[in-house]
Amino acid sequence: MRFLFYTHSVVSDWNHGNAHFLRGVMRELIACGHKAFALEPADGWSRSNLLAEKGPFAVERFRKDFPELVPVTYGDAFDHESWLSDADVVIVHEWTDPRLVAEIGKVRARRGNFTLLFHDTHHRAVSATQSISALRLEHYDGVLAFGEALRKTYLRTGWGKRAFTWHEAADERLFQPHPEVDSRSDIIWIGNWGDDERSAEIQEFLVNPVRELGLSGTVQGVRYPREALADLAAAGLRYEGWIANADVPKAFAEHRLTVHIPRRPYRESLPGIPTIRMFEALACGIPLISAPWSDVEELFRPGTDFLFAHDGSEMRRHLRDVLNDAELAASLTRSGLETIRARHTCRHRVRELFDVLAECGRHQANNPVVAEEALA
């Protein structure tokens, strides 16, 4: 089958975590014998910022790390209909220009020879409802929402014909433990600043505990304002900026634990949705302590796969315990890995995608045995 992904970017993950997931899904589809292509705007903000910060090296690095992936950039004169004519499945990400979202839907209405899905991996459905409600999704076969709360939002508002929960997950071809790497520091936090959506939480659950315990650590991510960088430095944390996603597993291995700090809109309005970095961290076998969020879908086993810290004081206690108790750290590592490998890899999400395609009434006969055998 021929899959076409309209993504904001698959080349750049600068402040754009969805690229991690789509890379993993595309790689699994290709490994199962399918064809997968990523179409992205030539002037998208993630790609533009990455090139401005790192130059052409960043694109070359992507090609080196993911040689099997085929990104195609488009501009105003791009012939979308020609590409759509050969597709079996088209998945359009919610950062796609609204006019193009509508245009692709019209092609689907005229031709009807491909399954068309809308993919939402953000909180704009609850934080910028006017923008999402204005999208023309009437010709889309369904919506892929990266959490049950988001799926219910689409159903409640009547956006689209049907909606499916399709969580993000770890690309286990990339994210895995590296026991051969020696840890050189206590803690690592890999995450972007996030438009002040978690600035107070970063202070409470990372900066203050690290400073008070005198820990060594590293922060990687983008868009940190000058004041935040000063706070990190005062706490003794090294700030190292953007990191290529292919380097993340070894960066985790060089540290003894990590933390998860969700953005406030997810915690308050879309419960049950962790960031993709939580899946990736557990897949790498690093002990994880999380700031509060509601695991209403029971994706994990809190207290077994990772520890919840409900405030800064509890975060300090958990950090001290994990760093001083090798048995506790090893238990978290084993359990977190077990849950990821059993439920939350991109292989699992590809299987779920084929279930969605079957429910949309298309491609049942084209759901090849090779895919099921590869996912078993």
Instruction: Give, for all 376 residues of the chain, the pLDDT tens digit.
Output: 999 999 999 999 999 999 999 999 999 999 999 999 999 999 999 999 999 999 999 999 999 999 999 999 999 999 999 999 999 999 999 999 999 999 999 999 998 789 999 999 998 888 888 889 999 999 999 999 999 999 999 999 999 889 999 999 999 999 999 999 999 999 999 999 977 889 999 999 999 999 999 999 999 999 999 999 999 999 999 999 999 999 999 999 999 999 999 998 889 889 999 999 999 999 999 999 999 999 999 999 999 999 999 999 999 999 999 999 999 999 999 999 999 999 999 999 999 999 999 999 865 435 543 444 444 4
The set of long-range contacts for 245-248, using a CB threshold of 8 Å and a minimum separation of 24, is 245/13, 245/19, 245/20, 245/23, 245/65, 245/174, 246/61, 246/65, 246/66, 246/174, 248/175, 248/190, 248/280, 248/284
> What is the C-alpha to C-alpha distance for residues 275 and 13, in angstroms, rounded to an integer?
14
Closest-CA residue to 9 (of 39, 54, 49): 39
Question: Can you give the pLDDT at residue 370?
Answer: 40
Report which residue type is found at 312: G
Q: Which residue has the tokens 């299987």?
A: 351
Q: Are 217 and 255 in contact (CB under 8 A)?
A: yes
CATH number of 185-343: 3.40.50.2000
Structure tokens given for 120: 């939402």
Burial of 271 (0-12, 13-18, 19+ CB in 10 A): middle
Q: pLDDT at position 175, please?
A: 98
CATH class in words for 2-169+345-375? alpha beta
Nearest to 292, CA basis, from 265, 311, 314, 270: 311
The 8-class DSSP code of residue 198 comes to: S
What residues does CATH 3.40.50.2000 cover in the chain? 2-169+345-375, 185-343
